[in-house]
A and B are shown apart, each in its own frame.
Chain A
Amino acid sequence: MEVLKKENIAVWDRISVKTHDTVIEGILLPRSAGDDSHLVLKMITGYNIGVRFDHVISIDQIGTKKANYKIPEKEFPFDEAKPNVTILGTGGTIASRLDYRTGAVIPAFTPGELFGAVPELADIANINTKKLFGVFSENMGPNQWKVLAESIRKEIEEGVTGVCIGHGTDTMHYTAAILSFMVQGSPVPIVCVGSQRSSDRPSSDAARTLIGSVNTAAYSDVAEVMVCMYGTTSDKFCYLHRGTRVRKMHSSYRNTFKTLGDIPLGKVEDGNFTYFKPDYKKRREDREVTIYPHFEERVAMLYYYPNMDPDILESMIDNGYKGIVIAGTGLGHVNKPLYDPIQRAHEEGIHMFMAVQTLYGYTQMFVYDTGRDLMARGVVPLGNMLPEVAYCKLGWVLGQVQDPEAVNKMMTTPITHEITPREPYNGFVQGQGGLDVVEDFLKEFS
Chain B
Amino acid sequence: MDDKEFEAIGFKCGLEIHQQLQTDRKLFCRCPPIYRNDPAHYEIVRHMRPTLSEMGTYDGTALMEFKTRKNITYQFFRDTTCSYELDDTPPFEMDEKALEISMIIAKAMKCALVDEVHVSRKQYLDGSIPTGFQRTAIISLGGFVPWKDGRNIDIRQISLEEDACREMSDKGHEIVFRTDRLSIPLIEVVTEPNAKNPTEAGELAEVLGWVMRSTQLVRRGPGATRQDVNVSVEGGRRVEIKGVPFIDWIPPITAGEAIRQHNLLKIRSLLQDRGLDLTSMDIEEFKTMKSQDVTDLFDGRQIEIFDSWFEGPVSTDKGLDIKAVLIPGFNELFSHPTHGDQTFSDEVSGRLRVICCLDRMPNLFTSDDIPFGGITEDDMKEIGKRLGASEDDAYILIGGPKEDTKYGVQEIYIRSREAIEGIPNETRQVLTPDITTFERILPGPDRMYPDTDRPPIVVTKEILDRVNKQIPVPWWEQKEDLLSAGVPEPVAHKLVVSRWLPIHEHALVKGAEKRFSAIFVMEGLKHLDRSGLDVDSIPVEAVAESIAMASTGKITIRALPKVLMEVSKTGRGPSEMIEELGLSPIDEDQARSAIDDLVKGHVDLLGLFKDGRTGPLMGILMDSIGDRINGSKVFGMVQGSIDS
Contacts and interface: CB of A to CB of B under 8 A. Distances in A.
Interface stretch (B39-47, B508-516, B604-612): B39-47
A202 B138 contact: no
A258 interface: no
A85 interface: no
A251 B84 CA distance: 13
A14 to B, nearest CB: 14
A51 B120 contact: no
A307 interface: no
Q: Is the interface of A mostly helix, strand, loop or mixed?
A: loop
Contacts of B53: 100
Contacts of A44: 445
A66 interface: no
A38 B51 contact: no
A71 B56 contact: yes
A169 B19 CA distance: 40
A51 B114 contact: yes
Given A45-B448, A47-B159, A51-B116, A200 B51 contact: yes
Contacts of A236: 45
Contact of B83 (A35, A72, A202, A252): A252
A40 interface: yes
Contact of A235 (B45, B125, B159): B45
A232 B44 contact: yes
Contacts of A435: 42, 44
A203 B449 contact: no
A201 B114 CA distance: 27
B90 interface: yes
B448 A46 contact: yes
B130 interface: yes
Interface in B440-496: 444-452, 455-456, 458
Given A49-B138, A51-B114, A202-B62, A70 B56 contact: yes
Interface in A340-380: none
B9 interface: no
B557 interface: no
A50 B116 contact: yes
Contact of A197 (B87, B136, B446, B452): B87
Nearest to B89: A252
A224 B83 CA distance: 33
Contacts of B444: 46
Contacts of B270: none
A39 to B, nearest CB: 9
A409 interface: no
A207 interface: yes
Nearest to A38: B116
B253 interface: no
Contact of B141 (A22, A40, A99, A101): A22
B54 interface: yes
A101 B39 CA distance: 42
B389 interface: no
B87 A203 contact: yes
Contacts of B456: 32, 35, 38, 40, 50
A233 B84 CA distance: 12
Contact of B449 (A52, A100, A250): A100
A94 to B, nearest CB: 14
A2 interface: no
A203 B115 contact: no
Interface residues of B, number: 55
B51 A201 contact: yes
Contacts of B449: 46, 98, 100-101, 103, 200
A207 B88 CA distance: 17
B130 A38 contact: no
B88 A233 contact: yes
A103 B56 contact: no
B83 A253 contact: yes
Contacts of B117: 49-50
Contacts of B125: 202
A99 B452 CA distance: 11
A436 interface: yes
B48 A203 contact: yes
A49 B118 contact: yes
Contacts of B445: 44-46
A254 B117 CA distance: 29
A232 B42 CA distance: 13
A99 B53 CA distance: 9
B54 A47 contact: no
Contacts of A103: 449-452
A45 B157 contact: yes
Contacts of A71: 52, 56
B112 interface: yes
Interface string A200-237: 11111001000000000000000000000000111110
B103 to A, nearest CB: 14
Contact of B49 (A47, A48, A202): A202
Given A71-B52, A71-B56, A117-B52, A203 B130 contact: yes
B45 A48 contact: no
A50 B458 CA distance: 8
A425 interface: no
Interface string B30-69: 0000000000001011111111111011000010000000
B131 A203 contact: yes
Interface string A111-150: 0000011000000000000000000000000000000000
Contacts of B141: 22, 24, 49
A282 interface: no
B20 interface: no
A103 B57 CA distance: 18
Interface in A68-108: 69-72, 97-103
Nearest to B457: A50
A111 to B, nearest CB: 16
A234 B448 contact: no
Contact of B132 (A52, A102, A202, A253): A202
Contacts of B130: 203
Contacts of A234: 44-46
B64 to A, nearest CB: 13
A233 B44 contact: yes
Contacts of B254: none
A16 to B, nearest CB: 13
B133 interface: yes
B112 A22 contact: yes
Contacts of A52: 115-116
Contacts of B52: 71-72, 97, 116-117, 200
Contact of B118 (A48, A102, A207): A48
B136 to A, nearest CB: 7
Contacts of B49: 202, 204, 207
Interface in B104-140: 112, 114-118, 120, 122-125, 130-133, 136-138
B426 to A, nearest CB: 18
A234 B159 CA distance: 31
A199 interface: yes
B317 to A, nearest CB: 24
Interface in A20-51: 21-22, 24, 32, 35, 37-38, 40, 43-51
9 contacts: A47-B159, A47-B448, A50-B458, A69-B54, A72-B57, A100-B53, A197-B87, A202-B123, A202-B133
Given A51-B115, A254-B88, 17 more contacts: A44-B445, A47-B118, A47-B448, A49-B115, A49-B141, A50-B116, A50-B456, A97-B51, A100-B450, A117-B52, A199-B51, A202-B131, A203-B130, A232-B44, A235-B47, A236-B45, A250-B88
Interface of A: 19, 21-22, 24, 32, 35, 37-38, 40, 43-52, 55, 69-72, 97-103, 116-117, 196-197, 199-204, 207, 232-236, 250-254, 435-436
The 9 closest A-B pairs by CB, nearest first: A50-B116, A202-B132, A46-B448, A46-B445, A100-B54, A103-B452, A21-B112, A52-B115, A48-B118
Interface of B: 42, 44-54, 56-57, 62, 83, 86-90, 112, 114-118, 120, 122-125, 130-133, 136-138, 141-142, 157, 159, 444-452, 455-456, 458
